[in-house]
Amino acid sequence: MIPRTSGARPRPTGLRPAAALGVLTAVAAAATLAAVPSPARAATGCRVDYRVSSQWAGGFTANVDVTNLGDPVTSWRLTWAFGAGQAVTQAWGGVAAQTGAQVRVDNAAWNGSLATGASTSFGFTGTWTGANPPPAQFALGGVTCTGSTTPTTTTTTTTAPPSDVLAKAHTVGRVRQAAGAARYTWPGIAFEGRFRGTGVGVTLNDAVNDYDVQVDGATVATLVTPGRTTHRVQGLTNGVHTVRVVKRTEVPWSAGEFGGFTADPGGELLDKPAPRTRQIEFIGDSLTAGYGNTSTSRDCSATGVDRKSNADLTFGALTARALGADHQINAQSGRGMVRNYNGGDPGTDFRTSYARGLQNEAADVWQNPPTWRPQLVVVGLGTNDFSTPVNPGEPWTADTLVTAYKAAYQGFLDKLRATYGPNAVIVVNASNLFAQTAQQVVTDRNAQGDTRVRFWNHDDPRLDRLGCDWHYSTADHRLLSTLLTDYIATLPLTW
């Protein structure tokens, strides 16, 4: 497993260039999604010309011109949603990715810088069935392209978020409330709310992590390192809606901040969603955190791992949704039960971070609130302990590492049992790499009378490991979720 570092993240590189063809033109005009920056942010605005240059039965080619009408930028991301099930199959002049109907294209290595009034182009081939209408709108860097710069409504006229930002937001993650914000570091942290009206704002302060914004269960925007901003979703049908913002990425050395939801003028925030009765906690390393899971290549040196990671598409998040459960993902890449990847960062291990609410604050000591009592805890630790040989100078041999691992695991299970009580089911999750050792931990535990600790070997020959650095892909996570859901059905859970 590859440990996380805090180094600079390279920009995406483009695919092959191609000549642009021009036939049909469609310009996005409907403004249903808007980002509202803080007043100190730079002016933003854009224009997009989308042309279907060739079309045949089941396929088409499109070319897209992007013009920056705001302040100069050194990199860009264009996003849109297809309305009739179209799919991008290959792109040039940019790096394309698609999740459901949502498409995003990042700049190539050679066309990221756009001065005010400057344009660039990219193209792609795609598939269609039934109809191939142009997208209704585009957004550049999260700001809707209307053909003009961001209007003066960037000075928000909506009601400010409440000082208690969790008064109208449901979360079960490890968060610390500060003045007007909730702070957090663990991956997959999510906040859920309800509102009445035609739009909602999501206030964040995070220049490092990526987020998905979801309305009524559908992702409407992906915010890449948004900084301090209020992102607005507008143009909705006037009525009652749900909103959810989820932290996709895992950056343990930097805390993000959630500043609350705000309703558009004429609307109102409603009582937050009720907590779900079922609760699951997922504990682990990069395989649990979703390291590089959305990548289609094991080599992510061109894009960086963060842009290819989504904790909301991990086997844990998928399993929790399938079972209608609230969940936590308390996972950190490169960490083991007693030994980190390749012996790195000696003197610390996963247990060091698990004791904290904010991983980047050594003095932080986490105390679980009484509202968090998961009936099921799934622990997947061991890959980093055993995936690399013990190096000279480390305090173990291969044999004593196994002994230390088993002793530490028992101590960790003691802590979980003391925290969550005798009825919680704890699943020790392993792969073939260390399955025998992990299963012995469970056997020893059961012999002590704790029969609600169970063993699950998740290895499966169908796992493709096509994520970054041979990590699990989104297809792998879907498979693991199915396998885990089936396994959970055999457990003595009372929920």
In a domain, 164, yes or no: no
- Run of H or E including 260: strand 256-263
Q: What is the DSSP letter of 45?
A: B
The first and second tokens of residue 459, run together, are 């290895």
Q: Within this chain, do residues 408 and 296 fall inside the same structural domain, yes or no?
A: yes
In a domain, 6, yes or no: no
- Can you give the CATH number for the domain in which 46 is found? 2.60.40.290
70-97 confidence digits (pLDDT tens) = 888 888 999 998 988 899 999 998 999 9
In a domain, 282, yes or no: yes
Mean pLDDT by 10 residues, the chain (495 residues): 42 29 29 36 72 86 90 89 90 89 89 89 90 89 73 37 83 92 98 98 96 97 96 97 98 95 97 97 98 96 93 98 98 98 96 96 94 98 98 97 98 98 98 98 98 98 97 98 98 93
Catalytic residue among 38, 286, 297, 387: 286
26 DSSP β-pair partners:
50
So what's the pLDDT on residue 494? 87
CA–CA gap between residue 277 and residue 172 (Å, rounded) = 12
Contact 284, 429 (CB under 8 A): yes
Q: Within this chain, do residues 221 and 144 fall inside the same structural domain, yes or no?
A: no
- Can you give the CATH number for the domain in which 379 is found? 3.40.50.1110
Q: Within this chain, do residues 182 and 290 fall inside the same structural domain, yes or no?
A: no
157-171 confidence digits (pLDDT tens) = 344 445 689 999 999
Q: Within this chain, do residues 344 and 448 fall inside the same structural domain, yes or no?
A: yes
Q: Within this chain, do residues 48 and 92 fall inside the same structural domain, yes or no?
A: yes
Q: What is the DSSP letter of 170?
A: B
* Residue ranges in 42-113 assigned as alpha helix (H): none
Q: Within this chain, do residues 301 and 445 fall inside the same structural domain, yes or no?
A: yes
So what's the pLDDT on residue 162? 55
Contact 249, 306 (CB under 8 A): yes
Q: Within this chain, do residues 107 and 180 fall inside the same structural domain, yes or no?
A: no
Of the three residues 154, 187, 217, the one that is the final residue of a domain is: 154
Q: Within this chain, do residues 140 and 122 fall inside the same structural domain, yes or no?
A: yes
Phi then psi for 402, rounded to 5 degrees?
Answer: -60, -45
So what's the pLDDT on residue 148? 62
Q: In what order do the strands lie in the sheet with 176-178?
A: 33-37, 227-233, 200-206, 256-263, 181-184, 176-178
So what's the pLDDT on residue 380? 98
Question: Which 3 state secondary structure label does DSSP give 344?
Answer: coil
Phi then psi for 276, rounded to 5 degrees?
Answer: -75, 145
In a domain, 250, yes or no: yes
Q: Within this chain, do residues 286 and 398 fall inside the same structural domain, yes or no?
A: yes
Judge residue 370's burial from the number of C-beta atoms within 10 Å of its C-beta, 0-12 exposed, 13-18 middle, 19 or more buried. Answer: exposed
In a domain, 113, yes or no: yes
CA–CA gap between residue 197 and residue 340 (Å, rounded) = 49
So what's the pLDDT on residue 155? 31
What region, left, alpha or beta, does residue 167 occupy, with left being phi > 0 and alpha being psi -120 to 50 degrees? alpha
Contact 51, 64 (CB under 8 A): yes
- Report percent pLDDT > 70 for the chain: 88
193-231 confidence digits (pLDDT tens) = 999 999 999 999 999 999 999 999 999 999 999 999 999
Range of the domain at 103: 26-154
Question: Which 3 state secondary structure label does DSSP give 271?
Answer: coil
Of the three residues 269, 288, 306, the one that is the final residue of a domain is: 269
In a domain, 5, yes or no: no
Number of independent structural domains in the chain: 3
Contact 452, 436 (CB under 8 A): no
- Run of H or E including 475: helix 474-488
Query: Which is it for the CA torsion 473, 474, 475, 476, positive or negative?
Result: positive
Of the three residues 247, 269, 291, the one that is the final residue of a domain is: 269
- Can you give the CATH number for the domain in which 190 is found? 2.60.120.260
Q: Within this chain, do residues 304 and 232 fall inside the same structural domain, yes or no?
A: no
CA–CA gap between residue 366 and residue 176 (Å, rounded) = 9
How many angstroms separate the first and last alpha carbons of the chain? 34
In a domain, 16, yes or no: no
* 473 noted as active-site residue: no
Radius of gyration of the chain (CA): 24
Give the global pTM. 0.71
So what's the pLDDT on residue 44? 65
Q: Within this chain, do residues 206 and 283 fall inside the same structural domain, yes or no?
A: no
In a domain, 493, yes or no: no
Interior/surface letters 435-452, b for 16+ CB within 10 angstroms, e for the rest: bebbeebbeebeeeebeb
Q: Within this chain, do residues 204 and 149 fall inside the same structural domain, yes or no?
A: no
